[in-house]
Amino acid sequence: MADLSKHPCFNADARLRFGRIHLPVAPHCNVQCNFCDRKFSCVNESRPGVTASVMSPTEALAHLKKTVSERSDLSVMGIAGPGDPFANVDATLETLRLVRNDFPDMILCIATNGLGLLEHVRELAALAVSHVTVTVSAVNEDIIQQIYAWILFENRIVKGIDAARILLERQEAGIKALAGNGIIVKVNTIIIPGVNDRHVDEVSVKVAQWGADVQNCIPLLPVAGTPFGTLRQPEPSVIHAIRAAAEKRLPQMAHCSRCRADVCGLLHEKMRSPQ
């Protein structure tokens, strides 16, 4: 049985003693965020501009075994891209099964945009996945459609207000299902100047109603060549003020280190590639 207090991302006290490893088994994505260059890892949980390798589930398990044999401080295995875990359902679930089988005490964690989450919540619970991060940067359809160029839903590309409505419904249903199954939910909210920076309070209120446990307000890191590439990164004082206001709605995470999809180690450790 995993000791949930050892998750370094959800428990600030644990971050100096326990680390996490991401297994990069999910290369594809089912949405296009306007701040994301698809050559790189999912920006919703990762630092933009860093490519991640891709592994098969069996390669990922072998890599995990090797890494765990070399260091004893890894308490969490996460899947956070380089695309979205549920746009790569087979590889994601197979990796979770393999890891759960060989590492019954390991905390399992997933980071997703939430579009493909709902159908798999029961299986996540059955595999004792205890932590899921869902990126919700807006709960207003007009703002959502500014953030996403398109979504891939039921094998077709959907844009505009229809895409916004579907994504919002799916995120709400997914988060409610996670909470209903006792899974701890973190919501990542990317702060995008001029787009959603005055909307975060509504996001915090809504996701708290849905059952989220903690929120992580992350400044946009503009990526050149993307639609939001020319925006300025929000000042630390702006992020601080947003977090202080959001704290009234939900506990805030303020120690996010923007991990890459193949990260390994303590949160403050210099990132290194797995191979």
CA distance 178 to 156: 26
Selected range binding ligand SF4 among 11-19, 61-69, 76-84, 175-183, rule: CB under 6 A: 76-84
Q: How many residues bind ligand SF4 (CB under 6 A)?
A: 24
Q: Does 203 bind ligand SF4 (CB under 6 A)?
A: no
CA distance 108 to 33: 25
Say if residues 268 and 230 touch (Cβ distance below 8 Å).
no
Q: Does 111 bind ligand SF4 (CB under 6 A)?
A: yes
Min dist. Cβ of residue 84 to ligand SF4 (A) = 5
Alpha carbon dihedral 162, 163, 166, 169, in 10-degree steps, equals: -110
The interface mask with ligand SF4, positions 233-262, x = CB under 6 A, is --------------------------x---
CA distance 117 to 93: 12
Q: Does 32 bind ligand SF4 (CB under 6 A)?
A: yes
Min dist. Cβ of residue 5 to ligand SF4 (A) = 14
Among residues 19, 24, 57, 78, the one that binds ligand SF4 under rule CB under 6 A: 78
Q: Does 84 bind ligand SF4 (CB under 6 A)?
A: yes
Min dist. Cβ of residue 242 to ligand SF4 (A) = 20
CA distance 48 to 39: 10
CA distances from residue 100 to 30, 82, 94, 135 in whole angstroms, order as listed? 26, 21, 10, 25
Q: How far is CA 162 from the centre of its chain?
A: 23
Q: Which phi and psi angles does 114 have, rounded to 5°?
A: 95, -10
Among residues 33, 158, 191, 217, the one that binds ligand SF4 under rule CB under 6 A: 33
Which stretches of the chain bind ligand SF4, using CB under 6 A? 9, 20, 22, 29, 31-33, 36, 42-45, 76, 78, 80-81, 83-84, 109, 111, 113, 131, 133, 259
